[in-house]
Amino acid sequence: MSKERDKIILELLLKKQKVTVKELAAALYVSEPSVRRDLAGLERQNLIKRTHGGAMIEEGALSKNKIPFKVRELEESSAKVVMAKAAAELVEDGNIIFLDASTSAYNVIPFLKEKKNLTVVTNGVRALEKLAEYGINTISTGGALDPACMSLVGEEAYKTIETINADICFFSCRGLDSDGNLTDIFQAENYIRERMIKHSKRAYLICAKEKFGKKYFHNLCHKSALDGVISS
């Protein structure tokens, strides 16, 4: 089963809630039997529900929460490694670092292990686990768990971030449009990023080229507010 096809199917379902096999076959440039096999695999993971002639996700269903995180895991990992290495090169010994809950920021963590006396502040649940694994001094923002992004959000998280002055911030988002606007599908995540950017000396967007030219519902900021965009 193609990971890239899985990602496209899930992204289409996030936008439309319901799609037909014929639509997916046209979008993926594959046969309808191939699409049906892909849908069967996604249904076994409890991510979607197959219907007569297509598939759907139900508003408020568990799969609606699981899909965004699954999409991020399926995104091209080799590009994320290249970007993560580039990000880590910007970090200096003794830095205080903000990492959001994105998989792009998560992938920076292994490349921080050679740095000395770092403190990382994050709202990412998986990031907290990985930082502990590498023995890096870590502060959790606390907050309410958002299962869609495996992140901690809300007032408690905001308060923690606002008490810290970081040296550098790494984060990602769903889209960077042609006018330089950063956008995402989750407003709660954007609120976290806004505060991390504000309370950092330097802020960098980690963004794969496939996100260029895309625009989503919630605005974050303009790229002119950042110190750079790390891409591959």
Alpha-carbon distance of 227 to 209, in angstroms, equals 18
Return the pLDDT at 14: 75
The model's pTM is 0.71
Both 65 and 124 in one domain: the answer is no
Rounded to an integer, the average pLDDT of 111-140 is 95
Both 120 and 48 in one domain: the answer is no
Both 49 and 144 in one domain: the answer is no
pLDDT tier for residue 62 given thresholds of 50, 70 and 90: very low
Both 87 and 192 in one domain: the answer is yes
Return the pLDDT at 121: 98
Residue 180, domain extent: 77-230
Last residue of a domain, one of 34, 54, 74: 74
Highest mean pLDDT, choosing among 4-8, 12-16, 37-41, 155-159: 155-159
What is the tally of structural domains in the chain?
A: 2
Both 215 and 102 in one domain: the answer is yes
pLDDT tops 50 at residue 148: yes
What CATH number corresponds to the domain at position 53?
A: 1.10.10.10
Both 173 and 91 in one domain: the answer is yes
pLDDT tier for residue 68 given thresholds of 50, 70 and 90: low
pLDDT tops 80 at residue 75: no
First and final C-alpha spacing in the chain: 25
Both 130 and 162 in one domain: the answer is yes
What CATH number corresponds to the domain at position 200?
A: 3.40.50.10470
125 in Cβ contact with 103 (< 8 Å): no
Both 70 and 83 in one domain: the answer is no
71 in Cβ contact with 7 (< 8 Å): yes
Return the pLDDT at 58: 62
Last residue of a domain, one of 57, 74, 91: 74
Both 42 and 103 in one domain: the answer is no
Last residue of a domain, one of 74, 102, 121: 74
Both 59 and 82 in one domain: the answer is no
pLDDT tops 80 at residue 66: no
DSSP collapsed to 3 states, the chain: CCHHHHHHHHHHHHHHCEEEHHHHHHHHCCCHHHHHHHHHHHHHCCCCEEECCEEECCCCCHHHHHHHHHHHHHCCHHHHHHHHHHHHCCCCCCCEEEECCCHHHHCCHHHHCCCCCCEEEECEHHHHHHHHHCCCEEEECCCEEECCCCEEECHHHHHHHHCCCEEEEEECCCEECCCCEEEECCHHHHHHHHHHHHCEEEEEEECCHHHECCCCCEEEEEHHHCCEEECC
Both 42 and 149 in one domain: the answer is no
pLDDT above 70 as % of the chain: 91
Both 117 and 207 in one domain: the answer is yes
